[in-house]
């Protein structure tokens, strides 16, 4: 079996540590992203993106479980 050679993808790693939490229980996040991170402003922007993403995940979970949104979708459409 022959595999197609894929292009390299630049990845950026980011570590963020909670500073206001209890010292023994501070949370340390690790991110991998294709969004370029060259300075602290870029890092803060990436963390803000992730925080927004989590809110979106929770929103869709509520729609799917609490509102049963998937049952309201059309299964078949007449043309």
Cβ count within 10 A of residue 60: 11
> pLDDT higher for 43 or 2?
43
Of the chain, the end-to-end C-alpha distance in Å amounts to 42
- pLDDT digits 0-9 by tens, 3-62: 889 899 999 999 988 888 787 888 888 989 999 999 999 999 998 988 888 888 888 888
pLDDT surpassing 70 at residue 73 = no
Report the pLDDT value the prediction gives residue 79, as an integer from 0 to 100.
62
DSSP 2-66: PPPPPPP---EEEEEE-SSS-GGG--EEEEEESS---SHHHHHHHHHHHHHHHHHHHHHHHHHHT
Point out which residues pair with 7 in neighbouring strands: none
Predicted confidence band at 66 (pLDDT cuts at 50, 70, 90)? confident
Report the pLDDT value the prediction gives residue 78, as an integer from 0 to 100.
65
């Amino acid at each position: 079996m022959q595999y197609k050679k894929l292009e390299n993808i630049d990845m950026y790693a980011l570590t963020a540590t909670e500073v206001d939490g209890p010292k023994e229980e501070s949370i340390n996040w690790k991110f991998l992203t294709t969004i370029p991170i060259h300075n602290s402003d870029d890092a803060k922007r990436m963390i803000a993106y992730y925080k927004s993403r989590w809110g979106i995940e929770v929103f869709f979970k509520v729609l799917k479980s609490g509102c049963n949104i998937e049952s309201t979708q059309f299964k078949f459409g007449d043309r």
